[in-house]
Amino acid sequence: MDASSPSPQDRLRAIVDWGNYPLDDPRLSDALAEQLAEDGVIALDGFLRPNVTAALREQAAGLADKAYFTNSTHNVYLTPKDEARDDDHVFNRQLVSSKGCITTDQVPAESDLVALYDAPAFRQFIARIVGEDALFEYADPLSSINVHYAGAGKELNWHFDNSEFAITLLLQKPEDGGRFEYLRDVRDAEAGEMNFDGVEAILDGRTTPSFLPIEPGTLVLFRGRNAIHRVTPTIGDTDRILVVLAYNSKPGIALSETARMTFFGRLG
């Protein structure tokens, strides 16, 4: 590092509103850990400094033409079809997700997104909230930092995440739509309980989900492995632009090939 470049800690303080979110204060992470355990989700309003949100929005908008827009379909479990079940079984029900995204290798190395993702104090803050000793980046070059784009009519359909938790940062909010909807404790991935009846009731609109209102600059930490969730279609000419930061509790883990092909259109 040359003498003129700021330390990771100084850089982090310039990105995060440290007055409201002193990431190195264990009282904050402990309180948030409790809130996450209770609610399954936490939303930190104004987490990014406003100038950082604005600059990242500009940067992301400039990268939009590199985004891969998925044409494929997926089931809610993000797995291949089970040929032993009928096509109309809820396990095999195919949903369309039309949002686009860029991958980690397409994010400029000097971006504040990379500085935030890599900052040890940020990782420790998140690790403490989710109850892990340490957090690690994905082993594949695509999955750690993604920027999602959803123009008019584009959406992310119902799914459960592969990962235990995800961190998102909204950069640009559409005029309407683009709502993050979710329902907690729908399946139990660890126990192999897939809850076909519960999932079907949601897909058929018989169960009303919760809705999380978020503004640009908000950090959301969400436990999405057992909570089914979606983002409704964007309405209007302003794209929804959102960053996903993904970590693992163990080193050397790559995102599943099915999920990579579905959302990125390539494996590496």
Ligand X SMILES: O=C(O)CCC(=O)C(=O)O
Q: Which residues contact ligand X by CB under 6 A? A: 148, 156, 161, 166, 168, 180, 224, 229, 231, 242, 244
Cβ neighbours, 10 Å, residue 10: 9
Partner whose binding site includes residue 244, from Fe ion, ligand X, none (CB under 5 to 8 Å by kind): ligand X
Distance of alpha carbon 149 from alpha carbon 89, whole angstroms: 30
Ordered alpha helix ranges (H), the chain: 8-15, 26-39, 50-63, 112-118, 120-130, 196-203, 257-264
Q: Which residue, 23 or 220, has its beta carbon nearer to Fe ion?
A: 220
Tell whether residue 161 is a contact of Fe ion (CB under 5 A). Answer: yes
Q: Which residue, 155 or 161, has its beta carbon nearer to Fe ion?
A: 161
Partner whose binding site includes residue 15, from Fe ion, ligand X, none (CB under 5 to 8 Å by kind): none
Are 145 and 107 in contact by the 8 Å Cβ rule? The answer is yes
Distance of alpha carbon 46 from alpha carbon 65, whole angstroms: 28
Q: How far is the CB of 147 from ligand X (least distance, A)?
A: 11
Q: Which residue, 8 or 46, has its beta carbon nearer to ligand X?
A: 46
Partner whose binding site includes residue 231, from Fe ion, ligand X, none (CB under 5 to 8 Å by kind): ligand X
Partner whose binding site includes residue 169, from Fe ion, ligand X, none (CB under 5 to 8 Å by kind): none
DSSP state, residue 251: T
Q: How far is the CB of 178 from ligand X (least distance, A)?
A: 8
Q: Which residue, 124 or 162, has its beta carbon nearer to ligand X?
A: 162
* Helix, strand, coil percentages in the chain from 3-state DSSP, rounded to 5: 30, 25, 50
Residue whose structure tokens are 């309003």: 45
Segment near Fe ion (CB under 5 A); pick from 77-85, 94-102, 111-119, 153-161? 153-161
Distance of alpha carbon 256 from alpha carbon 267, whole angstroms: 9
DSSP state, residue 90: T
From 151, 209, 224, 233, residue interacting with Fe ion (rule: CB under 5 A):
224
Q: How far is the CB of 260 from ligand X (least distance, A)?
A: 13
Q: How far is the CB of 194 from ligand X (least distance, A)?
A: 18
DSSP state, residue 7: P
Rg of the Cα trace of the chain? 18
Q: How far is the CB of 35 from ligand X (least distance, A)?
A: 18
Measured in whole angstroms, the distance separating CA 190 from the mean position of its chain's CA atoms is: 20
Say how many residues touch Fe ion, by CB under 5 A: 2
Q: Which residue, 209 or 224, has its beta carbon nearer to Fe ion?
A: 224
Q: How far is the CB of 166 from Fe ion (least distance, A)?
A: 6
Q: What tokens does 83 get? A: 């040929």
Distance of alpha carbon 171 from alpha carbon 162, whole angstroms: 24
Binding site for Fe ion (CB under 5 A): 161, 224
